[in-house]
Amino acid sequence: MSKRYEGKVVVVTGAAQGLGRALALGYAREGATLGLVDVKADGLAETKVLAEGLGATVETFVGDLSQEATVEALGAEVLARFPLIDVLYNNAGAAYGEVNTPIDQVSWDKFQFFLGLNTLSPLFLARALRPALKAAAKVRGSCVINQSSMASYQPAVVYGVTKSALNQLTWGMARMFGADGIRVNAVAPGLMETEASASSLGAERQEAIRALQMLPGEGSPEDIVNLGLFLGSDDARFITAEVMHCDAGHPFRAWRQ
């Protein structure tokens, strides 16, 4: 097993379950020290125990990333603990059953909630942690990875709009953070087997989505872990401003409505 992250610090948001937990454990397996953020204290504590079992040093930070004040407070807490950060993986995000809600049927408050969590928190957390990312960039390279979605190509649904805006932010952040040597990329997963995708889509809709893939089969969290490990490592040192798809060639990518 390679240890690409020995001596490196990786911060993962939304690490209490699903893709975030899988990512945290993937970075732990390769030697990273972890800063894990989530609103769910119990799940976060479980992830910490699992990562420590893999030999990682782990700090947890509990807070709500949908609110400006808590994003700022979390940023200050993480920065105080980690003066150098090699990877910020902005994975936290949600659809909470609103994955298909059309933009003409969503309330202002709900739209604002999803924009806050899925779109603004990655930007504002990265801004808060920029000094630590810059410090790491000077000595060994650093990067931000934003968790987008294949739904970012569905601009008529609320979840898709928030992820589409995240792609735009990724390109903008890559330009601005690049001045400090910090790479910024996004990962756009297709349908991955997690608790959230099962509960928000249901079996029938999942089957319909899979039927459109170019490749058969189910996406696993490990597919995203492998991409995250590559993108955060020196192997990707010349890659920035990319949205990398991991979706078995799903045609949502070509869908404009």
Ligand X SMILES: NC(=O)c1ccc[n+]([C@@H]2O[C@H](COP(=O)([O-])OP(=O)(O)OC[C@H]3O[C@@H](n4cnc5c(N)ncnc54)[C@H](O)[C@@H]3O)[C@@H](O)[C@H]2O)c1
39: contact with ligand X by CB under 6 A: yes
Question: Which 45-64 residues touch ligand X, going by CB under 6 A?
Answer: 64
Site string for ligand X, 142-181 (x = CB under 6 A): -----x-x--------------------------------
Cα 106 from chain centroid?
A: 24
122: contact with ligand X by CB under 6 A: no
In the complex, the smallest distance separating the C-beta of residue 212 from ligand X, rounded to whole angstroms, is 14
CA–CA gap between residue 17 and residue 40 (Å, rounded): 9
Which of 224, 166, 215 has the alpha carbon at shortest distance from 193?
224
3-state class (DSSP) for residue 145? strand
CA–CA gap between residue 122 and residue 124 (Å, rounded): 6
Q: Name 145's bridge partners.
A: 89, 185
127: contact with ligand X by CB under 6 A: no
18: contact with ligand X by CB under 6 A: yes
In the complex, the smallest distance separating the C-beta of residue 255 from ligand X, rounded to whole angstroms, is 15
3-state class (DSSP) for residue 138? helix
Check if the beta carbon of residue 32 is closer than 8 Å to that of residue 5: yes
Binds ligand X (CB under 6 A): choice among 91, 101, 167, 240: 91
CA–CA gap between residue 123 and residue 57 (Å, rounded): 26
In the complex, the smallest distance separating the C-beta of residue 135 from ligand X, rounded to whole angstroms, is 25
Question: Considering only 77-85, 91-99, 174-182, 237-245, which stretch makes contact with ligand X by CB under 6 A?
Answer: 91-99
The H or E element that residue 198 is part of is helix 195-211
CA–CA gap between residue 220 and residue 9 (Å, rounded): 25
Catalytic residue among 5, 27, 89, 159: 159
Question: Considering only 26-34, 87-95, 173-181, 230-238, which stretch makes contact with ligand X by CB under 6 A?
Answer: 87-95
| Nearest CB to ligand X, comparing residues 5 and 114 | 114
Q: Phi, psi (5° rounding) for residue 182?
A: -95, 125
In the complex, the smallest distance separating the C-beta of residue 109 from ligand X, rounded to whole angstroms, is 14
Question: Which 179-198 residues touch ligand X, going by CB under 6 A?
Answer: 189, 191-192, 194-197
CA–CA gap between residue 114 and residue 26 (Å, rounded): 27
Per the annotation, the verdict on 27 as an active-site residue is no
Total residues binding ligand X (CB under 6 A): 27
65: contact with ligand X by CB under 6 A: yes
The sheet that has 243-246: what strands, in order across it? 58-62, 33-38, 9-13, 87-90, 142-147, 182-189, 243-246
Residue 181, both tokens? 């040597």
Q: Which residues are catalytic?
A: 159
Where does this chain bind ligand X (CB under 6 A)? 14, 16-20, 38-40, 43, 64-66, 91-94, 117, 147, 149, 189, 191-192, 194-197
